Amino acid sequence: MSQSFNINIDTADLRVFDNDLYNKLLMFPQEMIPIFDLIINDIFETNWPGEATKRIQVRTFNLEDRKSMRDLDPDDIGTMICISGMVIRTSNIVPDLKTGMWLC
């Protein structure tokens, strides 16, 4: 089993470095984050050959705009957003369906 490591990317630095890349990350995160993962792993393999069992994943933080839960709308689906708020309660996940069977 391979290990997994993370590298944190401050999006404020990314925005200063390449604003177009920052905007693409916000608009197409499902496509861009895997590309970021591939690039960082390629750089790692180039600099430290033979350590390919260690998988690196990119994690982003510090987006420019923040939204509250009430400000979310359908336009936010599929984009990367930052939500500000406070967790007031947590609980275990309780599945509604324990067993199911479907026939066609």
d(CA 67, CA 26) in angstroms, rounded, equals 14
Q: Does 84 map to a domain?
A: no
Q: What is the pLDDT of residues 16-45, one digit of tens each?
A: 999 999 999 999 999 999 999 999 999 988
Domain membership of residue 18 (yes or no) is yes
Asked whether residue 25 is assigned to any structural domain, the reply reads yes
Write the CATH number for 56: 3.30.1640.10
Residue 101 lies in a domain: no
pLDDT at position 97: 76
* 83 within a domain of the structure (yes/no): no
Report pLDDT for 69: 86
Residue 53 CA to residue 34 CA, distance in Å, equals 17
Domain count, the chain: 1
Whether the predicted model's global pTM rises above the 0.85 cut: no
Whether 9 is in a domain gets the answer: yes
Per-residue pLDDT of the chain (104 residues; tens, 9 = 90+): 456 789 999 999 999 999 999 999 999 999 999 999 999 999 988 988 887 667 889 999 999 999 988 899 999 999 999 988 888 888 888 777 777 778 88
Res 102: pLDDT: 80
Q: Structural domain of residue 30, as residue ranges?
A: 3-71
